[in-house]
Amino acid sequence: MAAFLRCPLLARHPPLARAFATGARCPFMGFAHRAAPELQEDVERPQIPAVEVLEELLRDGGAALNRTVRDCMDEDAFPYEEQFQAQLGALRRTHTYRVVTAVGRRADAPPLGTRGTAPHTSVELWCSSDYLGLSRHPAVLRAARAALDAHGLGAGGTRNIGGTSPLHGALERALALLHRQPRAALFSSCFAANDTALDTLARILPGCQVYSDAGNHASMIQGIRRRGVPKFIFRHNDPHHLEQLLGRSPPGVPKIVAFESLHSMDGSIAPLEELCDVAHAYGALTFVDEVHAVGLYGARGAGIAERDGVQHKVDVVSGTLGKALGAVGGYIAGSEALVDAVRSLGPGFIFTTALPPQRGGGALAALQVVGSAEGAALRRAHQRHAKHLRVLLRDRGLPALPSHIVPVRWDAEANTRLSRALLEEHGLYVQAINHPTVPRGQELLLRIAPTPHHSPPMLENLADKLSECWGAVGLPREDPPGPSCSSCHRPLHLSLLSPLERDQFGVRGAAAG
């Protein structure tokens, strides 16, 4: 009875309180209902597995429309569709038509992925530029999720109009510190960074001349071409040819020397200090693309310039967040005035929506990993696996070039056939690289990118299956380099021995591989 009297309504009506005490139902509670789960703030919603969410999004939304650009034109209009088909036909005849392979990378089991819809086919990824696997590192994902929860999916605008978050500024400061430069500026991609920076610098420097390495990336070539300034091409990684060209330029004319520290396709490393010294001797700015070196070389992962101790000789460095750092986006770093000029005058910075904040959060966390002891261990494992794979391929007579990118050269038709055979027959995804990514005649059969997460058995399996497909296609082999075992006659992997092991076994002069 005392409990019912605590009700403010029943306390005024003792007869009702006595009635409820004997078991009668409360007339007021008859109108009350339990709140739906979505209205109960203290009820945790069941978590739907990410795979199920994505499967729902990937369901076929209906048949594609069948229409052409000629549907709304008169018969005497230009034959647009025929022209498009003629260009595509030429690509197919030369085996350079690009077939995009859709692969779902597994964050829980790198370097594995899936193909197709459920039930999925499992594949091993061998051509990803996520060199260290940081795109799925727990600290990177945690930072990206925190930024997503705090700021939402998109940036909300360009950097000048509502799109700059505190994460953008923090990331730019971290990148400037990484490269020992006063300032950095973020872009939507490194293609945009190279294109915008080179175009803008050539425009604001009166009478500017550009000296470009013959192997430069398309983003650099496009930025140089945009302004129509005088340009000179020097032989790939050849400081002597560069000096010959610069020697013909009048003193006092603004000049830019642009090159990659590590070539994106064949992995060759530039003689960075020599090129910078030649450029500076003739009063030229050095513009160095470190895209495929950031995160992988140097004590802190800053790239080849840090490894070689010449960061102070690089005037402008460009890099990416989308390869070893596992995110997306590009940047430049340089002097305060230079970067501010590109930021203030470059259309590719001004008129582009800013990077989403979660990309900034993830990239900041990736930089912390790269600069830590864990990052150094990942770099060592990455180099060790790349070297091991090169040895395995050479043992089988396959022409692998010395680089952390393991390119195997042949012609475009063989590229396509072998890439398809590896994927369809063995579940090994290695993308063939054809024109226009590389010049005609310089096609890469396969651009293989081993990571720290590829195990030694995976390396052995790839080498075996590639050798098998190589023989099936009928391609010639090279003689394996180095000595062989006197018992089993298999090549000895002397280049994989440590200095202590070489001394122990009396090995001298083993190839570096």
- The binding site for succinyl-CoA comprises 98, 212, 231, 437
SS3 137: coil
Give me the residue label for tokens 């995110």.
327
- Quick check: is 387 catalytic? no
Residues contributing to the annotated binding site: 98, 190-191, 212, 231, 264, 292, 320, 352-353, 437
In this structure, the number of other CB atoms found within 10 A of the CB of residue 152 comes to: 12
Among 255, 313, 323, 387, the active-site one is: 323
Closest C-alpha among 370, 282, 361 to residue 325: 370
Q: Beta strand pairing status for 406-409 and 330-334? A: unpaired
Query: What value, to the nearest 5°, has the Cα angle with vertex 54 and ends 52 and 57?
Result: 115
Query: What value, to the nearest 5°, has the Cα angle with vertex 195 and ends 250 and 369?
Result: 115
Would you say 341 and 312 are in contact if contact means Cβ atoms under 8 Å apart? no
Residues contributing to the annotated binding site for pyridoxal 5'-phosphate: 190-191, 264, 292, 320, 352-353
Q: Return the structure tokens found at 133.
A: 């696997």
- Rg of the chain's alpha carbons, rounded to an integer? 30
Reported in sequence order, the residue ranges of 281-322 that DSSP labels E, i.e. its strands, are 284-289, 316-320
DSSP 375-402: HHHHHHHHHHHHHHHHHHHHHTT--B-S
Q: Which residues pair with 269 in a beta bridge?
A: 262
SS3 213: strand
Q: Beta strand pairing status for 316-320 and 121-125? A: unpaired
In this structure, the number of other CB atoms found within 10 A of the CB of residue 468 comes to: 15
**Where in the sequence numbering do the catalytic residues fall?**
323
